[in-house]
Amino acid sequence: MVTKPRLYSGMQPSADSLQIGNYIGALMQWRDLQQTYDAFFSVVDLHALTQPNDPAELRAKTRRTAAQYIAAGIEPSRSTLYVQSHVRAHAELAWILSTLTGFGEAGRMTQFKDKSQRYGAEATSVGLFTYPVLMAADILLYQTDIVPVGDDQKQHVELTRTLAERFNARYGETFHVPMPVIQQDTARIYDLQNPTSKMSKSAESDAGVLWLLDDPKVSAKKIMRAVTDSEGSVRYDRENKPGVSNLLVIYAALTGRQIPAIEDEYAGRGYGDFKKGLAEVVVAEFGPVRERALELLDDPAELDRVLATNAARADAVADRTLADVYDKMGLLRRV
Ligand code: TYM
């Protein structure tokens, strides 16, 4: 039997809906790659605990995130789609890897530096500091070959590689060393109101974020109000025209067209026409995804059942890796 190479990726259930950056930067790749890879996709609820959460809301957001994966085309019969906390090995391997991670090494993670600066030392948890170590555990448990992510996760995947290599060197060949896969053109989708900042689920203002589960009319309005410039020509120029360039990237990603062809189509026409065109594209893409996600959420028991079946599949793989790790490190086997 030829085994397929393995893929791992995940998203935090940190909002009621995913945003279009998650969709273009990650989900679209996941959907394609699941055809050729043995893919594992998790909803990383343990990671989401690094922010304050209302328990009932966290449960709801976890289901909503899983429903959006499926609605966007992840097939739970083909790919292993599960909730991180359902597989206990994640927390256990994270502990093991934390003993191999340098304090300074973890402190150099850009996301940690940004967030801890924003929150202040007292409000920054140790969990936020060790967040990338848990992410490394996610990836390494499954002997992963590739990790498709947006560009903000690259440094975390690099740390994962370092930890895998360090473990292998100390204790013998145990982990596959994974490669990040980042789609250069769409690795970073920017906020519509602030097109030099990354679009984010935790953005301060809602006006610049396109949510997958938003009413399509609301998304269309946000596009019509997106920040552009005074030049008036639809042309890609990241430096000088970040707003228009971001809209062009979104347009191209969702239609599979090349940016120059879109520039040609809108040559000599104003931003109003271009935005209207993009709004139509976005509504056509997300309308059905939203409907399907809401349908799935109408039957939470069925969704929970799918997640449980998949968690059992994940458990089997993860337990094998963890047992090997414990053995290699000299932890006494329970007989
Ligand atoms: P998260 O939940 O922040 O984002 C999920 C995925 O979406 C990508 N992304 C973007 N891509 C392009 N433009 C944007 N504006 C944008 N915003 C987000 C992210 O790069 C990511 O691929 N730590 C991870 C979750 C995680 C994980 C893992 C990922 C936990 N364990 C193991 C891969 C493998 C995170 O917080 O992603």
Average pLDDT, the chain: 96
Would the pLDDT of 327 be above 90?
A: yes
* All CATH 1.10.240.10 domain ranges in the chain, comma separated: 206-294
Interacting residues of 306 by C-beta distance below 8 A, sequence separation 6+: 70, 76, 81
Q: What is the pLDDT of residue 292?
A: 98
Would the pLDDT of 186 be above 90?
A: no
Q: Is 285 in the pocket of ligand 1 (CB under 6 A)?
A: no
Q: Is 63 in the pocket of ligand 1 (CB under 6 A)?
A: no
Range of lowest pLDDT (43-47, 65-69, 193-197, 202-206)? 202-206
Would the pLDDT of 41 be above 90?
A: yes
User: Which CATH architecture fits 206-294?
Assistant: Orthogonal Bundle (1.10)
**Closest Cα partner for 225 from 239, 204, 205?**
205
* All CATH 3.40.50.620 domain ranges in the chain, comma separated: 6-182+300-329
Which among 28, 33, 115, 153 is the best mutation to test ligand 1's pocket, defined by most ligand atoms within 8 Å of the CB? Answer: 153
Over residues 181-194, the mean pLDDT reads 92
Q: Using CA positions, which residue lies closest to atom 16 of ligand 1?
A: 21
End-to-end distance of the chain based on CA atoms, in angstroms?
Answer: 33
Q: What is the pLDDT of residue 83?
A: 98
In the sheet that 179-181 helps form, which strands lie side by side, from edge to edge? Answer: 80-83, 38-43, 6-11, 146-148, 179-181
How many CB atoms neighbour CB 32 within 10 A?
Answer: 12
The pLDDT tens digits of the residues spanning 12-30 come to 999 999 999 999 999 999 9
Q: What is the pLDDT of residue 1?
A: 62
The pLDDT tens digits of the residues spanning 198-238 come to 999 888 889 999 999 999 999 999 999 999 999 999 999 99
The pLDDT tens digits of the residues spanning 150-166 come to 999 999 999 999 999 99
Q: What is the pLDDT of residue 230?
A: 95
Would the pLDDT of 174 be above 90?
A: yes
Would the pLDDT of 114 be above 80?
A: yes
Q: What is the pLDDT of residue 2?
A: 67
The pLDDT tens digits of the residues spanning 296-317 come to 999 999 999 999 999 999 999 9
Q: Is 21 in the pocket of ligand 1 (CB under 6 A)?
A: yes
Q: What is the pLDDT of residue 209?
A: 98
Where helices occur in the chain by DSSP H, the ranges are 20-22, 28-33, 45-48, 55-71, 89-98, 103-107, 110-119, 126-141, 154-171, 216-224, 242-255, 259-265, 271-297, 300-329
For residues 132 and 44, what is the distance between their CA atoms, to the nearest angstrom?
A: 12
For residues 71 and 73, what is the distance between their CA atoms, to the nearest angstrom?
A: 5
Q: Is 39 in the pocket of ligand 1 (CB under 6 A)?
A: no
Q: Please give the model's pTM, rounded to 2 decimal places.
A: 0.96
Confidence of residue 187 (pLDDT cuts 50, 70, 90): confident
Would the pLDDT of 44 be above 90?
A: yes
What is residue 75's three-state secondary structure? Answer: coil
Computed on alpha carbons and rounded to an integer, the radius of gyration of the chain in Å comes to: 21
Would the pLDDT of 254 be above 70?
A: yes
The pLDDT tens digits of the residues spanning 71-110 come to 999 999 999 999 999 999 999 999 999 999 999 999 999 9
Which among 141, 144, 149, 151 is the best mutation to test ligand 1's pocket, defined by most ligand atoms within 8 Å of the CB? Answer: 149
Q: What is the pLDDT of residue 315?
A: 98
The tokens for 54 are: 């209302």
Specify the CATH superfamily of domain 6-182+300-329.
HUPs (3.40.50.620)
For residues 144 and 7, what is the distance between their CA atoms, to the nearest angstrom?
A: 6
Q: What is the pLDDT of residue 203?
A: 82
